[in-house]
């Protein structure tokens, strides 16, 4: 690239940006292709972010107005990080670049254009919990709720409706494809779905999907908006494109009206959000959506050391779907990833804690250490361990601040201020008051419905019942807040002082802890001008629960939330069957393949050191402590690519006494399977046992036909009948 053509840019070091020096040829090509559709297929750790950052810098360098650049990423934080890095290259101008998530951007646009489709600008966004509550209410009203024990639960309902919305299919096809056992309820679900959609429209409510659907519809129906946005935004970039769905692809296409300057970046082997309607095929469909797409592949891995990459390659090599690229490592050196077989989850937690302590004394920054796991609750034991050891951590994923009951209570007051006839919020608040149950709450609400001024009615509620005084107090506060324009800050303080007695009554044991979270909420809300923007932001971009701003915290995260991040040292824990892959995913081959990609995502987060860890005994709900096998993906990694870790000497002292003596941790190390090989023809097999075949892989015994023949349902290749005298089946 001829550097002298470029005006020198003022980066922080005072040196002009040297694109050719800082980027490899493929990255450079992506950065320099400014016009037309571009698809960048980028492997894990291939400098995806770097490429996007430099492209933003290049666009600005070429004189593009920063306000005309849109950077859509998976989280708002990711966008902020990228723009911060870009501003180090080209200065402050980057702050004008539009950046954020799809949902946040759609929300932003809808606050302006919602009236086009019959919504007010101050519509309320429902999070998943709100949707579930509303569905339960509507199902009850339709008389569907108690109709049968097999009627889908509210969570399942929300998932089904959302899937239909995101994948552009009608309800019946979704049921046929994914939930055949619910087909008998097709008519009822259809009715519920219609009622739900109508209710949302008539009550100014939108769920996450509506943010996308409604913005898409406005773009489709209003040519002037389409033209306006096409002029307003000249360059669109989308990160993590493998995790977008059809709806989002449509929106991108519509917004690129008139210029088609779209660059999407993604990795089909890291697609882990199919439950949200994403499919890795979407990224491969991009060239068909945009004629003349330039395809660039980034296949060099800059993040990980070779031994780590050998492991991750082994994981993805067994995927059924063969992926579009092959990763080559750039870094050399580094030790083998460690494998620790813990006795149970307590021991696992101790191991991680001790390793972390070692690392910290070695001078590794806490922020360079992460512990990853499949589900939020897998880290409970570790959290306790770290707390007692005094090691600060932040947890990503799992329970959120806005899920806490006391936070919801506070926010419901704000919602009532925006819309006094918000049925669910009113219910929630009325039920706080003593002697008001479901029936009374409903009666009060129906009175509100038929009144001219609902808040005024509350403030002077005509009733001699014990609870009436509390209702009046509530009404008076709401009325005062609605009529005064003293700002959100003041309102939050007022609401909190109203709520405090309820908080103490509701949670006599731990109200101080909860009150701290209320303070956290107040600090958070002080950054917002009004309740509408606070509520929509909380719904779209929920803050971490213990965002304590501790700089020196290690990170505990679900594998999903670790997407796009990297650390020097990464522990992946609870890699035992029954924990990972998620038990719910082991029924379908597609789902298992997604779990594999998830494992791949997790393992590729490590720069230097990687530790796999699993407990040999896990606590299964109800059944108590059960022996567990290592996760199937872990077993697929050749034993010579891993280094077994020994437990710490000090850890030994604390061993639980109930562990069987004959249990030998070496037995579970992959590659060391002699111990459990069954002699051919042995009758040691039982129906339901998990077995492994040298070619077909893992499976479950479906039937034992006679002494020599056995039927096995293999996880990947389906049911096979095997002759025991010819095969080497091992129990796993």
Binding site for DNA (CB under 7 A): 74-75, 101-104, 127-128, 136, 146, 208, 272-273, 275-276, 374-377, 396-398, 434-441, 540-542, 558, 560-561, 582, 584-585, 591, 620-622
For residue 497, how many other CB atoms are within 10 A of its CB? 10
Query: What is the full DSSP assignment across 555-589?
Result: EEEETGGGTT--EEEEEE---BTTTSS-GGGTTSH
User: Taking the complex as a whole, how short is the minimal distance between the CB of residue 112 and DNA, in angstroms?
Assistant: 19
Residue 380 or 663: the one with the smaller Cβ distance to DNA is 380
Task: Kindly state the smallest distance separating residue 260's Cβ from DNA, in Å.
Answer: 25
Cα→Cα distances 394→370, 391, 611, 637, Å: 10, 10, 19, 30
Q: Tell which residue, 280, 326, 270, 356, has the closest CA to residue 562.
A: 270
CA distances from 695 to 14, 307, 722 (A): 60, 26, 12
For the record, the structure tokens of 209 come out as 């999907």
Closest alpha carbon to 534 in 50, 102, 124? 124
d(CA 66, CA 146): 55
143: buried, middle or exposed (CB in 10 Å: 19+, 13-18, 0-12)? exposed
* Residue 453 in tokens: 């001024």
Min dist. Cβ of residue 208 to DNA (A): 4
Shorter beta-carbon distance to DNA: residue 257 or 507: 507
626 strand-pairing partners: 618
- Token representation of residue 217: 């519809």
Strand ranges across the sheet with 554-558? 393-396, 554-558, 369-373, 567-572, 606-615, 338-342, 643-644
| Residue among 484 and 587 whose Cβ is closer to DNA | 587
The C-alpha atoms of residue 665 and residue 340 are separated, in whole angstroms, by: 9
Q: Distance between CA 254 and CA 215 in Å, rounded?
A: 10
- Residue number, 270 or 558, with CB nearest to DNA: 558
Report the nearest approach of DNA to the CB of residue 707 (Å).
37
Cβ atoms of residues 97 and 69 within 8 Å: yes
415 or 560: whose CB is closer to DNA? 560
The smaller minimum CB distance to DNA, of residues 384 and 703, is found at 384
Task: Answer positive or negative: Cα dihedral of 721, 724, 726, 727.
Answer: positive
Cβ–Cβ < 8 Å for 71, 49: no
Three-state SS sequence of 16-73: CCCHHHHCCHHHHHHHHCCCCCEEEEECCCCCHHHHHHHHHHHHHHCCCCHHHEEEEC
C-alpha to C-alpha distances, 397 to 57, 80, 372, 379, 706, nearest whole angstrom? 32, 19, 10, 11, 49
CB of 431 or CB of 667, closer to DNA: 431
Minimum CB distance to DNA smaller for 28 or for 572: 572
Q: Please state whether 564 falls in left (phi above 0), alpha (psi between -120 and 50) or beta.
A: left
Q: In this complex, which beta carbon is closest to DNA, that of residue 76 or of residue 568?
A: 76
Cα gap 73→543, rounded to integer Å: 17
Distance CA 547, CA 253 (A): 37
- Closer residue to DNA in complex, CB, 358/547: 547
Check if the beta carbon of residue 415 is closer than 8 Å to that of residue 536: no
Residue 333: which region, alpha, beta or left (left: phi > 0; alpha: psi -120 to 50)? left
Residue placing its CB nearer to DNA in the complex, 75 or 301: 75
Q: Toward DNA, which CB reaches closer, 658 or 662?
A: 658
* Residue 500 C-beta: closest distance to DNA, Å: 19
Answer for the pair 464, 426: CB distance below 8 angstroms, yes or no: no
Nearer to DNA, 510 or 649 (CB): 510
Name the residue nearer to DNA (CB basis): 56 or 601.
Answer: 601
CB nearer DNA, residue 519 or residue 587: 587
Give the span between the Cα atoms of 485 and 593, in whole angstroms. Answer: 54
The DSSP bridge pattern shows strands 718-723 and 709-714 to be antiparallel
CB of 407 to DNA, least distance (A): 12
Q: Decide whether 543 or 639 has the Cβ nearer to DNA.
A: 543
Taking the complex as a whole, the smallest distance from the CB of residue 411 to DNA amounts, in Å, to: 16
* Residue number with CB closer to DNA (124 or 261): 124
Minimum gap (Å) between residue 674 Cβ and DNA: 34
Between 512 and 684, whose beta carbon lies closer to DNA? 512
> Omega into 581 within 30° of 0, i.e. cis?
yes
**Radius of gyration for the alpha carbons in the chain, expressed in angstroms and rounded:** 28
Give the H or E element holding residue 294: strand 294-298
Q: How far is the CB of 317 from DNA (least distance, A)?
A: 22
**Smallest distance, Å, CB 80 to DNA?**
14
Instruction: Tell me the three state secondary structure of residue 422.
Output: coil
Q: How far is the CB of 662 from DNA (least distance, A)?
A: 27
- Least distance in Å: CB of 352 to DNA? 18
Name the minimum Å distance from CB 701 to DNA. 24
Minimum distance, C-beta of residue 700 to DNA, in the bound complex (Å): 19
Question: In whole angstroms, how close is the CB of 21 to DNA at the nearest point?
Answer: 35
Nearest approach, Cβ of 541 to DNA (angstroms)? Answer: 7
* Minimum gap (Å) between residue 642 Cβ and DNA: 25
DSSP-derived secondary structure letter, 693? E
Least Å distance between CB 423 and DNA?
16
- How far does CA 620 lie from the centroid of its chain? 24
């Amino acid at each position: 690239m001829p550097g002298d053509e470029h005006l020198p840019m003022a980066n922080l070091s005072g040196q002009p940006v040297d694109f050719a020096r800082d980027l490899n040829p493929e990255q450079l090509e992506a950065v320099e292709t400014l016009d037309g559709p571009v698809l960048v297929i980028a492997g894990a750790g291939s400098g995806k972010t770097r490429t996007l950052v430099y492209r933003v810098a290049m666009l600005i360098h070429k004189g593009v107005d920063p306000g005309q650049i849109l950077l859509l990423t998976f989280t708002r934080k990711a966008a902020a990080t990228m723009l911060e890095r870009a501003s180090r290259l080209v200065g402050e101008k980057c702050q004008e670049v539009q950046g954020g998530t799809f949902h946040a951007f759609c929300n932003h646009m809808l606050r302006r254009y919602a009236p086009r489709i019959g919504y007010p600008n101050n519509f309320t966004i429902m999070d998943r919990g709100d949707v579930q509550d509303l569905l339960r209410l509507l199902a009850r009203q339709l008389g569907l709720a108690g109709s049968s024990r097999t009627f889908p639960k509210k969570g399942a309902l929300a998932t089904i409706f959302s899937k239909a919305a995101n994948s552009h299919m009608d309800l019946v096809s979704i049921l046929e494809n994914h939930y055949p056992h619910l087909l008998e309820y097709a008519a009822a679900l259809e009715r519920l779905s219609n009622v739900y959609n109508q209710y949302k429209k008539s009550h100014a409510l939108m769920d996450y999907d509506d943010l996308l659907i409604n913005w898409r519809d406005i773009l489709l129906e209003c040519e002037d908006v389409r033209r306006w946005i096409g002029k307003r935004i000249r360059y669109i970039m989308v990160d993590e494109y493998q995790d977008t769905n059809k709806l989002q692809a449509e929106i991108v296409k519509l917004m690129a009206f008139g210029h088609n300057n779209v660059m999407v970046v993604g990795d089909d082997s890291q697609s882990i959000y199919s439950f949200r309607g994403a499919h890795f095929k979407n990224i491969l469909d991009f060239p068909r959506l945009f004629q003349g797409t330039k395809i660039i592949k980034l296949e060099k891995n800059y993040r990980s050391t070779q031994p780590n990459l050998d492991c991750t390659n082994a994981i993805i090599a067994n995927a059924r779907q063969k992926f579009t690229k092959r990763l080559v490592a750039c870094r050399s050196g580094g030790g083998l990833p460690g494998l620790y077989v813990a006795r149970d989850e307590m021991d696992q937690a101790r191991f991680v804690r001790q390793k972390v302590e070692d690392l910290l004394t070695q001078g590794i920054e806490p922020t360079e250490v992460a512990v990853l796991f499949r589900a939020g609750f897998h880290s409970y034991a570790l959290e306790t361990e770290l707390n007692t050891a005094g090691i600060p951590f932040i947890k990503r994923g799992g329970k959120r601040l806005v899920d806490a009951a006391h936070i919801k209570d506070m926010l419901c007051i704000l919602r009532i201020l925006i819309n006094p006839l918000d049925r669910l919020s009113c219910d929630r608040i009325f039920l706080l008051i003593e002697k008001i149950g479901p029936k009374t709450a409903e009666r009060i609400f129906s009175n509100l419905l038929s009144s001219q001024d609902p808040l005024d009615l509350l403030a002077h509620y005509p009733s001699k019942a014990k609870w009436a005084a509390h209702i009046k107090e509530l009404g008076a506060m709401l009325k005062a807040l609605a009529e005064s324009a003293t700002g959100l800050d003041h309102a939050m303080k007022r609401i909190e002082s109203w709520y405090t007695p309820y908080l103490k009554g509701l949670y006599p044991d731990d109200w101080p802890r909860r009150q701290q979270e209320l303070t956290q909420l107040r600090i958070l809300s002080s950054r917002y001008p009004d309740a509408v923007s606070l509520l929509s932001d909380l719904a779209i971009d929920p803050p971490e629960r213990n965002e304590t701003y501790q700089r020196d915290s290690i990170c505990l995260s679900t594998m999903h939330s670790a997407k796009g991040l990297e650390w020097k040292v990464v522990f992946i824990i609870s890699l035992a069957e029954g924990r990972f892959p998620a038990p719910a995913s082991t029924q379908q081959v597609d789902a298992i393949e997604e779990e594999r990609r998830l494992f791949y995502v997790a393992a590729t987060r490590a720069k230097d050191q990687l530790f796999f860890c699993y407990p040999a005994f896990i606590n299964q709900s109800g059944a108590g402590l059960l022996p567990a096998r290592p996760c199937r993906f872990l077993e697929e990694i050749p034993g010579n690519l891993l280094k077994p870790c020994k437990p710490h000497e000090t850890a030994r002292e604390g061993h639980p006494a109930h562990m069987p003596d004959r249990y030998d941790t070496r037995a579970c190390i992959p590659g060391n399977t002699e111990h459990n090989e069954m002699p051919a023809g042995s009758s040691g097999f039982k129906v339901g046992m998990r077995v492994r075949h040298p070619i077909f892989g893992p499976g479950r015994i479906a039937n034992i036909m006679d002494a020599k023949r056995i039927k096995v349902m293999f996880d990947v290749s389906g049911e096979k009948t095997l002759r025991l005298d010819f095969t080497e089946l091992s129990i796993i």
